[in-house]
Structure 1
Amino acid sequence: MERLTGWKRDEVIGKLLPGEIFGSFCRLKGQDTLTNFMILIYRGISGQDSEKLPFGFFDRNGEFVESSITTNKRIDAGGNILGCFCFLQVVTPDLNQFSKEHKPIGRENISESKELAYILQEIETMTLT
């Protein structure tokens, strides 16, 4: 996140993702972008996995970052929804070229990637407390 936005972790920790981080720290193109972002988050929290949503914002230096965002629910061991994970992917010409030349990742690899992301987030959370 720091490389993407230019904001250091200690500057944004404890801030709300929609409105404070994306809205104040990282200006969005318009109110529609914030509204769509919030809808995407609420869908993730309600258990609906999302498709990629085009998502652009201005980083700390005022440069526009074109990305896409997806959300996935975050659950505990009992299957209760705790929140959602947000995944930002920067849109670059190299990435677009790569996706055209290669076959999509199989469902097994996607599940493994999501599980790894969850484990990494849990480890990070544990080190903060």
Structure 2
Amino acid sequence: MLMGEVFGTEISCCCLKNQESFVNVEILLNKAMMGVETEKVSFCFYRRSGNYVECLLSASKKVDDEGITTEVFCFMQLASTELQQALHLQRLSAQTALIRLKTLSYMKQQIKNSLSGITYSRKLLEGTNLDEEQKHLLHTNVQCQRQLNKILDDTDLESIMDGLRLQQILADFLTVSINFSPNGDQLWISSSLRKDRLGDSFHLAHLELWITHSGSGIPNEFFNDMYENNNDTSEEGVSLLVNRKLLKLMNGDVRYVRETGKSSLIILVELASNRTQVPRLRQLFR
């Protein structure tokens, strides 16, 4: 009755976004009927008035005295504006992080393949008659390969909590800063990290990043976009807006300071971390 009469893809129903949404809800209900524990899922539909509604849907089974599932209870939690924005940004961030993680994994594998070929060639050369200078060059080659392998093996960004998301934010702010810096001028990046102890094993890391560039700076209209003061938002403004919202979700924010001949983006963020992650976070932004 719920699917097909109340919600569905027909005009007479509260329409779902597409057939895939219909199937996903059916899967959720079937899992609940089979007794599988389900989590809240994002559920979107159009009211008969045409308004778009985004909420969270959960399902739980009802059993009889013999433990047999007879019904499924569904609960819909209407999302506040803040929750809707958080869900949207979470999906957007997750998709971006996944794409970058896949790209990073592909690059790591391709570099490792190339290093394997270099190693094979080097071992062949080691079996020939080499003078001292050539041996020294091969030794340097070995050290470089070891350093590259160490970098590849230590690149575990997933273990640094919001590392990928934070790098995405930093990269976008860097891009905007570079776009509004004079050609040939310099751009400076500095950081500071302060930690507060939370119990025996965890810390609250307060990270502050400064991106300073010369020139007249980023136009004010882009910051109006970032603070949602403009109706007509530019591409750069959308980038600033999304990244500021992501920072707010991480208990952070961004400020822009103009000085004579230079301007600075100041990124503030708080991250919960354990003992091993604080040093790695510090290394990540050196």
Tell me whether 1:63 sits opposite 2:48 in the alignment: no
How far apart are the structure 2 equivalents of 1:29 and 1:93? Answer: 19
Q: Deviations over 1:66-101 (max 9, x none)?
A: 0111111111122111021111111113668xxx9x
- Secondary structure at the aligned position of 1:38 is classed as helix
Tell me whether 1:21 sits opposite 2:9 in the alignment: no
**What is the deviation of 1:45?**
0.5
Greater strand proportion: 2
The one-letter amino acid paired with 2:2 is L
The one-letter amino acid paired with 2:32 is G
Greater helix proportion: 2
Unmatched runs of 5 consecutive residues or more in structure 1:
1-15, 101-129
In the alignment, is the contact (CA less than 8 A) between 1:49 and 1:73 conserved in 2?
A: no
The residue aligned with 2:68 is 80
Q: Deviations over 1:39-82 (max 9, x none)?
A: 00000111112111110001121101101111111111221110
Q: Which has the higher contact order (CA 8 A, sep 6+)?
A: 1
In the alignment, is the contact (CA less than 8 A) between 1:18 and 1:38 conserved in 2?
A: yes
TM-score of the superposed pair, with normalisation by structure 2: 0.27
The residue aligned with 1:92 is 80
Aligned residues: 83
How far apart are the structure 2 equivalents of 1:74 and 1:62? Answer: 33
The one-letter amino acid paired with 2:77 is Q
In the alignment, is the contact (CA less than 8 A) between 1:58 and 1:64 conserved in 2?
A: yes
Displacement over 4 Å in runs of 4+: none
Q: Which residue, 50, 58, 75 being the options, matches 2:38?
A: 50
How far apart are the structure 1 equivalents of 2:57 and 2:37? Answer: 11
In the alignment, is the contact (CA less than 8 A) between 1:54 and 1:68 conserved in 2?
A: yes
**What is the deviation of 1:33?**
0.6
Unmatched runs of 5 consecutive residues or more in structure 2:
85-248, 250-286
